[in-house]
Chains A and B, each alone.
Chain A
């Protein structure tokens, strides 16, 4: 017989690799899982999900109708974030507009507003904000205060004062939201596709009963791990690169770092995710369990990675945990590579934790698969 022993055998590896690739490509469900959500998410995240506040309606109950209240309302009307100023004539009307969430905030201008100002006092306006939309509400209050301050300045000086502070935002001068979100998305999408492909791979074979067949064959556990890792690694890398290409080509986000270092980080990042996916798969009895497992690991990982909220704001324990999430480190690298030409030294500082996580997770996956032979 021509078999050779040893941990790795080229023929056995190639047979298994082919099997894995065909299993993914020939299964319409897995094709859907792998290719459709990433593209949908790209569009949804890039165009719909935003933290900026735009196109809002504001209600105004103007009991004054004097010079200063008119000044305030007309500034409001021309402000960029306001779509429409809705004039109401009673408190009840105002309340019901907020109730029905037709407006995010309402101004109630008292009858003595202009009079008080003319008398040299300070006019007061009540602002009612829809607390159900707390985040947008707070941002709106910020915008409104700025407008009120402008009016105040006009009252005192009758001329626009020079702004006391000039803010300059480095790396993203216009604070374009997409510049921040799209590079990070490339990591999240690669994470989910690699996680799903690998977590399904062993569970699928267990459902079919082919896993026992594989275990009694001459193939070694490292061979099983490698052959199941490679297709996920290839698909994850291609998806990640596509998303980065879209960032540069479609959204015009400047790429200022080193492509090759970023590619190396991407590969290491996906390898560490593949290890986690295989661990999930090794302990799942069915594909359903595997998918649930992938999401219950994937979603918290994204939330804790610093994509939505800064890691520094989390409790210390969670900050430590976040260090164990590959995405945390990859986000630092990808965002840095896009916007601030991150130096190789800084990249390496985030690269070695990725390498460590990959090593640990793949080793664990191997042990888990071996552990099934109890």
Chain B
């Protein structure tokens, strides 16, 4: 808990006047309405979550609140100052942490903090106490001499937060602070923000993670530039009472059951949770269809309490269907061996630093295999060694029985790869990107034209063919990246944080395709920070400090974290439990 230094003066904290007043605000970019007639208020001493699908206007609203954008219509007052008329005062009254905080990677932690203090017109030497407090608060004190560029993702966010808190703002604005941050660091961020709101600061936290929204005091849900809901998240969740169910212990054919359930008219949403399938009924829909499905598959149907995510999806009109048009066109994978990916004693050292140490596992055909771990635990290094991008210092990795570092071109075509942040050629159009992927995987003439048309058709890319990938809505960008990765129908698919920063609807559509491909026998290797995503995996490998600390099904990992106080732990609980047990 910080002392008074970090927080605004307590006089303001005590009263309940609004920290932010938004009055019929509108903002247009060209013809597109980013925000329309938005009116609401945000209060001191509260953590307010800002949620909504991609393109809903979250970032636009954030930038208006910080005085970086001028609204076209309406008025916004932050900490009593008008964002247009008193623009200079806004910068003093607010702390802002953009999606990628502007840290200077070549400066140390301490130098970054000094710089931000001076930028705020503060004397760095005279504020030794504040510095010590911030370092203690963020637990960065042992790392003051480390270059910001060498910090892990979670530590960078904490340093960004320390810099944003420098001027003791009355209102703190955080734009997706937890993207790419592991659950342990995320927990730290939460603890810090909680302490700040307890002391009276108003904190706005925009996020694509709905479990985070659920923990906020109040939520602003944006959709297509309009306010769809404002209030405590529980209030929205309560509307869903009696509509959430779980098909328990479905086991091996849970993907088929999920697909079937999602195609039912009465089901609005569904996800895999370990061995079970969680579904949400549409409004006014009966339970007959889902009961029939449960009976047919001989599984138990249990009512479960609704989550904020259910309410969110419901408000947006339900998730996508369960059938993947992509997987339907893919012929079942035929492979000689049942083991598709394997590694033995895999070790990688960079100088003195060991990134991966003695990791061994085997992945079977058609399995979805997750690699989890805190930032810097060695996930990416292990992942890169498996797909041949890094040479192991010791041990070996095989994909479909081949060492990819020595493999020929044809052998490498056994693998599909989707990198973080959808690596697409920004200078090429959508069609040119597809043409390139087809060509580089050696698809020729008629086969290539047919496959490209198939991808355009499957993913609905026709209206975007001559657009640049960067101008696409995020959902389409992800479809394009997936299309490029699976165009050559690889039996093994590598996904490196495939849905980082992507909204829940787009994420569901993505997993519908992945589930479909897995049912066709495609092996899927996935790294993720997203615990809901880990639930889709058949097995999860947990890495911590370069070592494999657990390898089991999501349900088994969750059971391991159960105790009297927490009988039904979430995947996130399991993650934190494992890391703490290993530390």
Q: Residue of A at shortest CB range from B439?
A: A15
Given A19-B425, A19-B432, A27-B427, A216 contacting B439 (CB threshold 8 A): no
Are B419 and A213 in contact, CB atoms less than 8 angstroms apart?
yes
Contact of B423 among A1, A16, A210 (CB under 8 A): A210
A218–B408 CA distance with the chains assembled, in angstroms: 7
B101 at the interface (CB under 8 A from A): no
A63 at the interface (CB under 8 A from B): no
**Which residues of A in the span 197-218 have a Cβ within 8 Å of any Cβ on B?**
208-210, 212-218
A-facing mask of B461-501, CB < 8 A → 1, else 0?
A: 00000000000000000000000000010000010000000
Given A19-B428, A374-B391, A208 contacting B423 (CB threshold 8 A): yes
Given A218-B441, A373-B389, A208 contacting B426 (CB threshold 8 A): yes
Are A3 and B389 in contact, CB atoms less than 8 angstroms apart?
no
Q: Which residues of A contact B444 (CB under 8 A)?
A: 2, 11
Are B442 and A4 in contact, CB atoms less than 8 angstroms apart?
yes
Given A11-B444, A12-B409, A216 contacting B427 (CB threshold 8 A): no
List 18 additional contacts besides A26-B428, A212-B384, A373-B391; criterion CB under 8 Å.
Answer: A1-B410, A3-B409, A5-B408, A6-B408, A9-B409, A12-B439, A16-B436, A22-B427, A212-B423, A213-B419, A215-B389, A216-B417, A217-B413, A217-B441, A218-B408, A218-B411, A218-B440, A219-B440
Closest 10 CB pairs of A and B: A15-B439, A218-B409, A209-B423, A3-B442, A5-B410, A5-B408, A218-B412, A216-B417, A210-B423, A26-B427
> What are some 22 contacts across the A-B interface (CB < 8 A)?
A1-B410, A1-B413, A2-B447, A3-B413, A3-B441, A4-B410, A9-B409, A11-B444, A15-B435, A15-B438, A18-B435, A19-B428, A27-B427, A209-B421, A215-B388, A216-B415, A216-B494, A217-B440, A218-B440, A373-B391, A373-B405, A374-B390
Q: Residue of A at shortest CB range from B421?
A: A209
A50 at the interface (CB under 8 A from B): no
Total inter-chain residue pairs, C-beta < 8 Å: 114
A365–B233 CA distance with the chains assembled, in angstroms: 57
Q: Which residues of B contact A (CB under 8 A)?
A: 384, 387-391, 404-405, 408-413, 415, 417, 419-421, 423-428, 432, 435-436, 438-444, 447-448, 488, 494
CB distance from A177 to the nearest CB of B (A): 41
Q: Which residues of B contact A216 (CB under 8 A)?
A: 387-389, 404, 412, 415, 417, 494
A3–B447 CA distance with the chains assembled, in angstroms: 11
Are A218 and B413 in contact, CB atoms less than 8 angstroms apart?
yes
CB distance from A285 to the nearest CB of B (A): 11
CB distance from A3 to the nearest CB of B (A): 4
A215–B390 CA distance with the chains assembled, in angstroms: 11
Interface on chain B toward A: helix, strand, loop, or mixed SS? loop
A220 at the interface (CB under 8 A from B): yes
Are B436 and A19 in contact, CB atoms less than 8 angstroms apart?
yes
A208–B384 CA distance with the chains assembled, in angstroms: 17
Q: Which residues of A contact B435 (CB under 8 A)?
A: 15, 18
Q: Which residues of A contact B389 (CB under 8 A)?
A: 212, 215-216, 373
A215–B385 CA distance with the chains assembled, in angstroms: 12
Q: Which residues of B contact A374 (CB under 8 A)?
A: 390-391
**Which residues of A in the span 158-215 have a Cβ within 8 Å of any Cβ on B?**
208-210, 212-215
Q: Which residues of B contact A91 (CB under 8 A)?
A: none
Are B409 and A219 in contact, CB atoms less than 8 angstroms apart?
yes
Q: Which residues of B contact A256 (CB under 8 A)?
A: none
CB distance from A239 to the nearest CB of B (A): 21
Q: Which residues of B contact A6 (CB under 8 A)?
A: 408-409
CB distance from B25 to the nearest CB of A (A): 34
Q: Residue of B at shortest CB range from A10?
A: B444
A27–B425 CA distance with the chains assembled, in angstroms: 11
A23–B432 CA distance with the chains assembled, in angstroms: 11
Contact of B424 among A5, A27, A210, A214 (CB under 8 A): A210
Are A213 and B417 in contact, CB atoms less than 8 angstroms apart?
yes
A14 at the interface (CB under 8 A from B): yes
A16–B494 CA distance with the chains assembled, in angstroms: 22
A232–B556 CA distance with the chains assembled, in angstroms: 56
Contact of A209 among B405, B420, B448 (CB under 8 A): B420
Given A1-B413, A5-B408, A26-B427, A18 contacting B436 (CB threshold 8 A): yes
Are A12 and B423 in contact, CB atoms less than 8 angstroms apart?
no
Are B440 and A12 in contact, CB atoms less than 8 angstroms apart?
yes
Are B438 and A210 in contact, CB atoms less than 8 angstroms apart?
no
Centre residue among B387, B411, B421, B426 by max chain A CB count within 10 A: B426
Contact of A23 among B423, B427, B442 (CB under 8 A): B427
A212–B488 CA distance with the chains assembled, in angstroms: 17
Q: Which residues of A contact B409 (CB under 8 A)?
A: 3, 5-6, 9, 12, 218-220
A72–B391 CA distance with the chains assembled, in angstroms: 80
Q: Which residues of A contact B439 (CB under 8 A)?
A: 11-12, 14-16, 18
Are A209 and B419 in contact, CB atoms less than 8 angstroms apart?
yes
CB distance from A366 to the nearest CB of B (A): 16
Q: Which residues of A contact B412 (CB under 8 A)?
A: 216-218
A214–B433 CA distance with the chains assembled, in angstroms: 13
Are A208 and B442 in contact, CB atoms less than 8 angstroms apart?
no
Q: Which residues of B contact A19 (CB under 8 A)?
A: 425, 428, 432, 436
A12–B410 CA distance with the chains assembled, in angstroms: 12
A19–B448 CA distance with the chains assembled, in angstroms: 16
A15–B391 CA distance with the chains assembled, in angstroms: 27
CB distance from A362 to the nearest CB of B (A): 20
CB distance from A288 to the nearest CB of B (A): 13
Given A4-B410, A6-B409, A23 contacting B440 (CB threshold 8 A): no
Centre residue among A3, A6, A208 by max chain B CB count within 10 A: A3
